Amino acid sequence: MPERYEELDSLRGLAAMTVFCYHCIFLLAICPAWLAWTIRTPLGLLLYGGHQAVILFFVLSGFVLHLPYTRQGYRASYPSFIVKRICRIYLPYLGALLFFVLAYVLFFNANRPAGLSELYGWRPLSLGQGLTLFRDHVLFVGFYHRDYWNGATWTLAEEMRISFIFVLLAMMVVRLRTRTSLLLALGCSAMVSLAIRVVHHRTPFEPFHYASLFVLGAVLAANRLALLGRWSRIGRPLQSALVAVAVLTSSYALVLMEKFPRIVTEEASDWLIALSVSVFLLAALAGTWFTRVLRQRFMLHLGKTSYGIYLLHLPVIFVFVSLLWTRVPPLVVFALSLPVTLVLAHVFHVYLEQPSMALGKRLARLLDRRSGVGSTTVLPGDGPLEAAGSMPLIGYRGNV
């Protein structure tokens, strides 16, 4: 088995591009008729699957973060894990936040362009409001206006919050049976649905629901070899059928929620999408033509810069909207935003992400040397998938 699943990086890059397309379409107050028909088709999964992409991010994060726990004798150090997560997610985010603010200060147009939806988050702010908003974006605390400046950053707040408890989630997956872990995750989401119906407010409960999706990813990582073995044995026709079902399920899960809201809650819809994402992950790792596509150089580069694409695309689009919205068609605005986003994402990856990740590794090694063996927890290798065992992955470096 490879030390690093590079195809998962590429999958994340595809998801980031889907979010880019989703936000371009969602910025339009009125969707053109020639585009509207695609939204409720499987093609809409690529063009309008922003929410599905976010669910993929959460499941994939759980998968990747749990991989080290599947090594025999892995020593889990909580301080070094948190330091690496802060350097991996939070420090680059702070750099991007400065970019958000600078773009807003330089290019904000007080006359809101016509034809834009509420996704366009640039609104007039006093100095006091701006400073308060900046503080809230830095601290990730409270129910602040996450859609101002950059509405995509709410997922990073959830990622950081879940990171602080992920070691507990990983240990639960390691020590409990697969069915038990999945039932606990499903039960957590069910309780969140119930709580939301009672108090009619989502924000305080969302991290618990999204943490359950991390658990699903961790379960997939713990049993990946057994699952991939079963995947290879079912044959190509059934594999294709499962992928087709996954595409249809993830495409129409939100439609089911709209049509039957009392039965299919948002949390239930997310689980339908998450199970579909599980099929996509297996297909990506199975060594098929899909794996080969994901390992192409451009796809790998897209994966490496996916964090920058996700963080920077909305401010870039907003800048072009502010400058050109009333002068050129929307499609031109979006077409110009894409290459600029890709270039800035590359710069972001080279000069901010990579140094920040290197800093996290150095600090983690320093913490490990100072703490010694006594502050770590020795965990066993892969857990069974019911009766089927799986081999540990030696020397994995982690896509984090």
Give the 3-state secondary structure of the chain: CCCCCHHHHHHHHHHHHHHHHHHHHHCECCCCHHHHHHHCCCCHHHHCCHHHHHHHHHHHHHHHHHHHHHCCCEEECHHHHHHHHHHHHHHHHHHHHHHHHHHHHHHCCCCCCCCECCCCCCCCCCHHHHHHHHHHHHHCCCCCCCCCCCHHHHHHHHHHHHHCCHHHHHHHHHHCCHHHHHHHHHHHHHHHHHHHHHHCCCHHHHHHHHHHHHHHHHHHHHCHHHHHHHHHHCCHHHHHHHHHHHHHHHHHHHHHHHHCCCCCCHHHHHHHHHHHHHHHHHHHHCCCHHHHHHCCHHHHHHHHCHHHHHHHHHHHHHHHHHHHCCCCCHHHHHHHHHHHHHHHHHHHHHHHHHHHHHHHHHHHHHHHHHHCHHHCEEECCCCCECCECCCCCCCCCCCC
pLDDT for position 383: 38
Please tell me the total number of residues recorded for the chain in this structure: 400
* pLDDT higher than threshold 60 for residue 386: no
**Residue 295 Cα to chain centre, angstroms:** 20
Q: Is 219 a member of any domain?
A: yes
pLDDT for position 291: 93
397: confidence class by pLDDT, cuts 50, 70, 90? very low
Mean pLDDT over residues 301-317, rounded? Answer: 95
Residues 153-179: pLDDT tens digits?
888 889 999 999 999 999 999 999 999
Q: Is 336 a member of any domain?
A: yes
Q: Is 198 a member of any domain?
A: yes
Most confident of 201-215, 298-312, 378-392: 298-312
pLDDT for position 77: 85
Q: Is 192 a member of any domain?
A: yes
Mean pLDDT over residues 199-225, rounded? Answer: 91
* Least confidently predicted of 12-16, 130-134, 302-306: 130-134
Q: Is 252 a member of any domain?
A: no
Residues 223, 178 contacting (CB under 8 angstroms): yes
Q: Is 315 a member of any domain?
A: yes
Domain residues for the domain of 136 are: 6-67+76-239+281-371
Question: CA 5 to CA 85: how far, in whole Å?
Answer: 19
pLDDT for position 379: 44
* pLDDT higher than threshold 80 for residue 5: yes
Query: Helices 6-26 and 297-304 sit at what angle, rounded to 10 degrees?
Result: 70
Instruction: Name the average pLDDT for the chain.
Output: 86
Residues 115-163: pLDDT tens digits?
888 888 788 888 888 888 888 888 876 666 666 777 788 888 899 999 9
Mean pLDDT over residues 25-54, rounded? Answer: 83
The rounded percent of the chain whose pLDDT value lies above 90 is 58
Residues 331-358: pLDDT tens digits?
999 999 999 999 999 999 999 999 999 9
pLDDT for position 184: 97
How many structural domains comprise the chain? 1
Residues 60-98: pLDDT tens digits?
999 999 999 988 777 778 899 999 999 999 999 999 999
* Least confidently predicted of 22-36, 81-95, 137-151, 368-382: 368-382
Q: Is 225 a member of any domain?
A: yes
Q: Is 172 a member of any domain?
A: yes
Closest CA to 309 of 88, 4, 63, 21: 21
pLDDT for position 142: 61
Mean pLDDT over residues 303-323, rounded? Answer: 94
